Amino acid sequence: MDNTNKVPDFSAMAKDLTANAQRYAGSESVKFFKESFVKEGFTDTSFTAWKKTSNPMAGKRTMYRTGTLMQSVRKVEQNKQRIVVESDTEYSELHNNGGTITVTAQMKRFFWAKYYELSGKRKQTSSGKASRSKYNVKTSAKAEFCKRMALMKVGTKIKIPQRQFMGNSQTMMNLFDAFWQGSVDIVFKQHLNTK
Q: Mean pLDDT, to the nearest integer, of 18-34?
A: 88
DSSP assignment of 124-156 equals B-TTSSBP--HHHHHHHHHHHHHHHHHTSPTT-
What's the pLDDT score for residue 130?
A: 64
- In tens, the pLDDT along 74-93 reads 999 988 788 899 999 999 99
124: left (phi over 0), alpha (psi -120 to 50) or beta: beta
CA distance 161 to 50: 9
CA distance 168 to 94: 17
Contacts for 34-42: CB closer than 8 Å, 24+ residues apart: 34/70, 34/73, 36/164, 36/165, 36/166, 37/61, 37/63, 37/64, 37/69, 37/70, 37/165, 42/164, 42/165, 42/166, 42/167, 42/169
Tell me, what amino acid is at 188?
Answer: F
CB-based contact 104:152 (threshold 8 Å)? no
- In tens, the pLDDT along 114-132 reads 999 988 776 666 666 666 7
Query: Please, which pLDDT band fits residue 10 given cuts at 50, 70 and 90?
Result: low
Is residue 19 within a helix (H) or strand (E), and if so which, with residue range?
A: helix 10-39
Give the residue, 177 or 153, on which the prediction is more confident.
153
Give the residue, 138 or 89, on which the prediction is more confident.
89
Inter-axis angle of helices 134-150 and 105-120, nearest 10? 160
Give the residue, 20 or 35, on which the prediction is more confident.
35
Mean pLDDT of the chain: 85
> Torsions phi, psi of 76, nearest 5?
-115, -15
Q: Which residue ranges make up each domain of the chain?
A: 8-98+161-195, 105-158
pLDDT at 42 over 70: yes
